[in-house]
Amino acid sequence: MSIYSNICFYGGGAWGQALAITLSSLNNNSTILVSDKTRETQINNSKSERFPNLKLSPLIRATTNIEKAIKDSDLIFITTESKRVLLAIEEISSFSKNKINVIITSKGFATKKGKTFNEIVENKFHNILLSILTGPTFADEIANKKPAAAIVANKDIDIATSICELFHNSNLRLYPSNDPIGASIAGAIKNIIAIGAGIVEGLELGDNAKAALITRGISETCELIKKVGGDHKTAFGLAGIGDISLTCGGPHSRNMAYGMDIIKNNYRPSTSLVEGLNALDAAIALSNDLNVELPIVGAIYKIINKKADVNDIIKNLLARPIKNEFL
């Protein structure tokens, strides 16, 4: 039996609803904190704007009462986009009297300088015990009970394990990790690499080029994780190679679709949520601060910001000095 009895999802979008649906399949109640009455009424009537073909379980309830939702909870998932996570953390910290377990499912950096959410929380929000849930997961597939696997990362492996146990025997298989920094870096960088995969697709450079980009992107993720003090093996697990493989697989990924759009639509892409775009400046700032070379990430940054002709950028990547692949 789970040690968590009052579960809250801060954010009523696709990912929050998908996780709530998964927990309801195990007979767990959950509350979804939403920002408007219309969505609150809709969810409480077992309907979902995000998944119109699904009927929500009565175990899933919605509310707009942020203070009550937080005070009543012993476990909170933040399921908003990354740029709204710090606000959510501030609100949870202010309303929660005791230490509370919080899980971030967004994949991105906390600041433009490349700080992770764990670093911010450890220094400022001492009543929050923060975990990271990340891996190759599309919300619509989770909601439709298709099998998936991901990790929960917390420096305290017992906390990570307790969250994994909450989902045990559902379609979402979770593995505990004690590397939240590595998990955060992997989640942020993979979205940038996915934009690059979209650019490769848009330019019709072929499968060889995309495979090379993905592989070298994993290598850059590994180097950055090591530099920030994380476990480099995280880059080769579900949070790293698993998530990059999924996100670079096709336009189902918003990040890859964005990369395709900027090529096919002459740099006038759609304005939909693109986490990789939000992470680019932070990744460049962090690599400069740590003196880590990120050629692939840097090339994507130059293409997005029109720093050079895309064909010249590709030629420069291919002309980089020859060195051992793993040095």
User: Is 190 among the catalytic positions?
Assistant: yes
β-bridge partners, 131: 103
H-type alpha helices, the chain: 14-24, 37-44, 66-71, 85-95, 117-124, 139-143, 157-166, 180-202, 207-227, 243-247, 254-264, 275-290, 295-304, 310-318
Of residues 301, 293, 295, the one with CA closest to residue 316: 295
Q: Which of 113, 190, 302, 315 is catalytic?
A: 190
In our burial notation (b when 16+ CB lie closer than 10 A, e otherwise), range 77-95 reads bbbbbbeebbebbebbbee
Under DSSP, the state recorded for 26 is T
Q: Assign residue 131 a region: left if phi > 0, alpha if psi is -120 to 50, beta otherwise? A: beta
* Burial status of residue 156 (CB atoms within 10 A of its CB: 0-12, 13-18, 19 or more): middle
| Angle, CA of 111, 31 and 154, to the nearest 5° | 45
β-bridge partners, 77: 9, 103
CA distances from 22 to 5, 40, 60, 65, 327 (A): 15, 19, 10, 23, 42
Of residues 179, 93, 83, the one with CA closest to residue 128: 93
Residues labelled catalytic: 190
